Chain A
Amino acid sequence: MERKRLMMMFVFGILVAGFGLAGEGLVSAKDLQIAVMVPNGVDPYFTAKRYGYEKECEKLGAKMLFYDAGGYANVNKQIGQVEDVLQRGIDGIIFGATSTDGTVPVIDKVIDKKIPLVIDNLDSATKKPVLRIMKNGILVGQLRAVYIVDRLKGSGKVLLLPGPSAVTLCQEEYQGFITYAKHFPGIKVITEWTASSPDAGMKTVEGILQANPDLKAIATFSPPLTVGACKAVQASGAKPGDILVVGQMLDAGIDDYMRKGWVSATVMCDHIEMAREAVRMVVRQIKGELKPPQLVLIDHYLVDRDTLDKFEKSGSSYPKEWRR
């Protein structure tokens, strides 16, 4: 009798442990709430990524809460958004920082509260262990520099528009460009830090072209700056291709500018797939399958007019009928 009781307790214990472990694996993303926090939602780059976040959350059955800080200058607003999200309770956060240093205290708070967190592309300088999925800013800058130096045959004046100076990614892309270009004394680089808006880009390029009519190339951080640069080049009377414009991504109609010859090349990454991966990472962290620190660097590649219609677009473009 005693042995029978012990046997039953043992079997019961095995069953409980078994269901418990299986239960862990069976936890799905259903009913999970994931906050996606971006610094500048109107930038076509983030608009496209929103598609990725949304679709992957839908696929996993999670609910996405989207927060846009409304601009890189709105650090306080973004901090407030994180505080609000912590207050309301959230299962996971995907975060792109308005300011690398300004967001550290609030990100540390998230990590201390053990909320699963993935920093997506725009880094916060927290020293605490965290999951990150990042563009390789140095590589992006170098790819632009390689293309321009090659096309200019190692000699010529180049305008670099790296974007907002407070953003680490912009600083990395700047460093990547400069460290490559410095090996070619014939390449003269003029750097102008501006807001990532088309009118800022246009006004700056117009002025620089006046002072430097021998400008041969322009490298830009974002699609809005690329558009502004193209408009300024058009207004200067130059023909397509007279001044190389090398940007980043194909959003905001950049592909059209490329077909017409105003944009010579653009550095791409599969940013929509990157957004999807960020969602997968945070869900895995919620489930306990992924633990910080981890760093995932995504690939980059250069597209020009000749390869515009030949590269795989599924990771970097969304259907035209989708508009949020």
Chain B
Amino acid sequence: MKRKKGLASFNWSRHGTPLAFGLMIIVFALINPAFLSVRNLSQTLRQGAILFLIVSGQGLAILTRGIDLSQGSVMSLVSVATISSIYILGTYWGSLVGVLFGGLCGFINGVLIGYLRIPPILATLGMLFIALGAELVYTGGVTLTNLTDVDQIRLFWFGGGMLGPVPVPVVFAVFTGLILYFVLRCTMFGRHLYFMGANPDAARMVGVKANRVLVIVYTLSGLLAALGAFFLTARLSMGFPHLGEAWLVLSIGGAVLGGISILGGEGGIWEAILGTLVIVFLDNGLIVSGVSSFAREAIIGCIIILACMASVIRRRS
């Protein structure tokens, strides 16, 4: 077989996205050096930490050939549930209860998909509306504010505080990423998850407990979306009923952009990190460079589509 030379030998499918990310950083830094300022990087990584949590949850679902369409609504539900719970239970217990709401939604998704065999797109679509309806009925659409000063300060630390030089959400995101990496790469559960994504029928035939795997995957997806919502809610110090509206598209886009195959069974935490970084730095870079808001939306949309195409082509080849 003839060996490829030069650019043809470059593994574009594997290294294309990291290369594009690096080039993007260089271009934005040249346009406006403020892009690489410590404050800008810190703020962008803070936003990225929130997105990473949501993307990694979505990524787990996509790895099993599924999808979680309920993440945006779950985020909104968790936002109002957190603030409401803080009114009653105080900052820490209230925050925990709020996050657990997200886990509960994910668990329900998992049971519907794993045990009742409802297709993921339908089950999570149903949960999208259930979560949205529940939080709107509860709040009546009212934004929840009026935290006490003490609760506000404590809560804000999670979303806007620093641990040394590092934003708090980034610390949590790194910690979460390490755990997920270990689970996916070093545990039987992780192997079963990939097996199910690669060939779900074969996985079931060799005894993989697919039901259980799916319940865990979707519970994790809900919990991770809830964590993302928690940090965002903490940063804003308010329960906003439509908080998660724009995040579902970003979570799917981030997962696919980074290299998690939309067809399942391929990708992992590094891909989730890469996809997250591309989206947040692309968006930030376009703002700092002065690109209009209209053009930004179109550019980000085009890049997500290109990434999906690359994912499909890579899979076929």
Contact = CB atoms under 8 A, between A and B. Distances in A.
Interface of A: 40-42, 44, 46-47, 50, 68, 70-71, 165, 192-195, 197-200, 202-204, 206-208, 210-211, 213, 223-224, 227-228, 231, 234-237, 251-253, 256, 323-324
Contact of A211 (B34, B47, B140, B241): B34
A211 B288 contact: yes
A203 B289 CA distance: 14
26 contacts: A41-B136, A41-B141, A46-B141, A47-B142, A50-B141, A68-B141, A71-B245, A165-B294, A195-B245, A198-B243, A199-B240, A200-B246, A206-B47, A210-B34, A210-B40, A210-B284, A223-B143, A224-B143, A227-B236, A231-B236, A231-B237, A235-B160, A236-B39, A252-B143, A252-B238, A253-B143
Nearest first, the 6 A-B pairs at minimum CB distance are A207-B287, A324-B140, A253-B145, A42-B241, A41-B141, A42-B141
Contacts of B35: 210
A223 B143 CA distance: 10
Nearest to A203: B47
Given A197-B243, A211-B288, A213-B34, A227 B294 contact: no
Given A68-B141, A202-B236, 7 more contacts: A41-B141, A42-B241, A198-B236, A210-B288, A211-B287, A227-B238, A235-B160
Contacts of A235: 43, 160
Contacts of A199: 232, 236, 240, 243, 246
A44 B242 CA distance: 12
B293 A193 contact: yes
A234 B43 CA distance: 12
A13 to B, nearest CB: 53
Interface string B274-303: 000000000110011110011000000000
Interface string B197-210: 00000000000000
A146 B244 CA distance: 35
A46 B284 CA distance: 31
Given A208-B287, A211-B288, A211-B290, A47 B37 contact: no
Contacts of A256: 145
B144 to A, nearest CB: 9
Contacts of B288: 207, 210-211
Contacts of B289: 211
Given A42-B241, A210-B40, A202 B140 contact: no
A83 B37 CA distance: 53
Nearest to B147: A253
Contact of B143 (A44, A192, A237): A44
Nearest to B40: A210
Contacts of B287: 192, 203-204, 207-208, 210-211
A252 B145 contact: yes
Given A42-B141, A210-B288, A193 B294 contact: yes
A202 to B, nearest CB: 7
A200 B250 CA distance: 13
Interface in B201-257: 232, 235-238, 240-243, 245-246
B284 A197 contact: no
Contacts of B47: 203, 206
A202 B143 CA distance: 17
Given A165-B294, A202-B236, A208-B287, A197 B43 contact: no
Contacts of A194: 293
B141 A47 contact: yes
A203 B283 contact: yes
Interface string B130-164: 00100010011111011000000000000010000
B32 interface: yes
A211 B36 CA distance: 11
B73 to A, nearest CB: 11
A50 B290 CA distance: 38
Contacts of A41: 136, 141
B88 to A, nearest CB: 15
A192 B288 CA distance: 12
